[in-house]
Amino acid sequence: MIIVLRPDATKKQIDHIIEKVKKLGLKSMVSQGIERTIIGVIGEEDLLRVQPLEAYPGVEKVMSILKPYKLVSREFKKENSIVDTDGVKIGGKKIVVMAGPCSVENLEGLRKIGRAVKASGALILRGGAFKPRSSPYSFQGLGEEGLRYLNEVKKDTGLKIVTEVMDTRDVELVEKYADMLQVGARNMQNFNLLKEVGLSKKPVLLKRGISSTIKEFLMSAEYVLSNGNFNCVLCERGIRTFEDSTRFTLDLNAVPLIKSLSHLPVIVDPSHGTGKWDLVGAMSRAAIAAGADGLIVEVHPNPEDAYSDGAQSLLPEKFDAMMKELAPVAKAVGREL
């Protein structure tokens, strides 16, 4: 349920409503919009229906949210949310590009990549310190050592850091180093992990599961927001279909569809979505044309020797050329790189 407040509602009136909701055993979430403040109420709505909420001082109207996801919906918040990642704002006019290797391999290699992608216009460095792999015998990441390398490159380049967290036990550790916590596709419905990052003060990058519907994706984001963290960015990274010519099928329908259903920013991962480096540029241009707020792209100076995902990684010079090609597309849709 949504409680829409009058423009002149006072803090005392808002606090009074929140206290009443709390006494009913329900949770309230306050969203400060440009023109209105609204209070989202989570829990059994029947408990509220016996309350004359419209009569409360400061209340303009009360509405039920029909969709199963409440806080992520456009019903809850009409204007687009902007997620601030330590100064890098995702969801506004500027398209934010995150780039870097699939796995953090060593400090010097990561520093080289960081400097290259920064020079080409990337604002956030991506790199996995903990890696979810299909085989238990594949490289699993450097762990905290990799996090330290990411932090060193951040100091060197000024790039912000996004890296994956896979376990509730690692959230506190990753928070020490990362500016944004990534929840990968395989963990999209790891509900304990979603709750844990929902308690974090760091922004969350939530990737769509490989066999998940849009509704399931948004319900996972609801877990994050319902635990208090409204700084959540959604990432379309391809889904599993019958097609086997590419690694996954990049579902660009999802970008405008999600943006019509939710106020959260949406970015696209063309690297995992295709699994082929030579398709990344075309899909990046298409993603921006479709309305994506950003991209996350894998870049490696020597893909044939990459510890993971070399086939979908761009050489730094290819990434630089791609960034130049993206600029006019962004401009054509009223955005900028």
Residues 136-164: pLDDT tens digits?
656 667 889 999 999 999 999 999 999 99
Q: Are residues 120 and 216 in the same domain?
A: yes
Same domain, 40 and 117: no
In a domain, 116, yes or no: yes
Residues of the chain above pLDDT 90, percent: 72
294, part of any domain:
yes
Predicted local distance difference test score (pLDDT) of residue 158: 97
Distance CA 223, CA 125 (A): 26
Q: Do 90 and 6 have their domain in common?
A: no
Q: Last residue of some domain: 63, 93, 115?
A: 63
For 166-182, letters b (16+ CB in 10 Å) and e give beeebbebbeebbbbbb
DSSP string, 94-106: BPEEEEE-SB---
Range with lowest mean pLDDT among 40-44, 217-221, 243-247: 40-44
Tell me what pLDDT residue 178 has.
97
Give DSSP secondary structure letters for 53-94: GGGSTTEEEEE---SS--TTBTTT--SPP-EEETTEEESSSB
Residue 72 inside a domain? The answer is no
Verify that 261 and 326 share a domain, yes or no. Answer: yes
> Is 97 in the same domain as 211?
yes
pLDDT of residue 134: 64
* Domain annotation covers residue 197: yes
- The per-residue pLDDT for range 51-84, each reduced to its tens digit, is 777 888 999 988 877 788 999 999 888 899 999 9
| Full domain range(s) for residue 204 | 83-332
**Residue 29's domain is classified under what CATH number?**
3.30.70.1140
Q: Does 233 share its domain with 160?
A: yes
Half-sphere exposure of 128 (CA within 13 A, CB side): 23
- My answer on whether 91 and 236 are in the same domain is yes
pLDDT score recorded for residue 206? 98
Whether 218 and 262 share a structural domain:
yes
Give the per-residue pLDDT at 170: 94
pTM: 0.88
Residues 53 and 116 in one domain: no
Residue 274 has pLDDT above 80, yes or no: yes
Mean of pLDDT over the chain? 92
Statement: residue 198 has pLDDT above 70: yes
Would 68 be classed as within a structural domain? no
The verdict on 7 and 133 lying in the same domain is no
> How many domains is the chain built from?
2
Cβ atoms of 280 and 271 within 8 Å: the answer is yes
Same domain for 93 and 27: no
DSSP E strands in the chain: the ranges are 2-5, 27-32, 37-42, 59-63, 83-85, 88-90, 96-100, 124-126, 160-164, 180-183, 204-207, 232-236, 266-268, 294-298
